[in-house]
Amino acid sequence: MRKSTHSAALPSPQVAGAQRRARLLGNETWLSESQVNDLLMEAGRRRTAEQLRVARKLAGVTIEGVYLYPHVQFDVAAGDVRPVMAEILAVIPSDTGEWATINWLFQRRRSLDGKRPADVLASAPTLAIKAARDDFMPSDADW
């Protein structure tokens, strides 16, 4: 039996990024802009998903010209975005790309005992805010 002498090539950074995005899209629940607007309207809210996104109170990504929003950001019973999202997005630099922001939200953190910020938005929002501050606003002691 002959062994292969070549190893599988690693994907380019662009291909690896696309693969991560595809996994993330498949593993999480997402709402379209119209679904978010319907949720907000049903609760009597006068803001749109676009207004909330532009005001940095809601995180979303665009795929082929369509905005999608992670469901975990919403308190469906209240018909609104969880207030913690505005606090988190205020900490994340405004020039951070939308995919980088979403990736951070779904990335496991040692400071959260291996959980993702998305996992604690409802149950422990202050921990999610602290994780954002730790990652995006390092203290002088970190130098």
* Average pLDDT over every residue of 111-125: 96
Residue 111 and residue 9: Cα distance in Å, rounded? 33
Question: According to the model, what pLDDT value does residue 115 have?
Answer: 97
**Neighbouring C-alpha atoms within 13 Å toward the C-beta of 100:** 10
Cα gap 119→111, rounded to integer Å = 13
- Is the pLDDT at 6 greater than 70? The verdict is no
The 10s digit of each residue's pLDDT in 83-108 is: 999 999 999 999 999 999 999 999 99
Residue with the two structure tokens 């749109």: 48
Task: Using alpha carbons, select from 136, 63, 52 the residue that is nearest to residue 101.
Answer: 136
Task: Look at residue 26 in the predicted model and tell me its pLDDT.
Answer: 73
Position 64 scores a pLDDT of 83
Whether residue 98 contacts residue 60, with contact meaning beta carbons closer than 8 Å, is answered with yes
Burial 66-81 (b: 16+ CB within 10 A, else e): ebbbbebbbeeeeebb
- To the nearest whole number, what is the mean pLDDT of the chain? 86
Cα 103 to Cα 20: distance, rounded to the nearest angstrom:
9
| pLDDT higher than 50, residue 13 | yes
Sequence-ordered strand ranges (E) for the chain: 30-32, 61-63, 66-70, 74-75, 80-81
What pTM was estimated for this model as a whole?
0.81
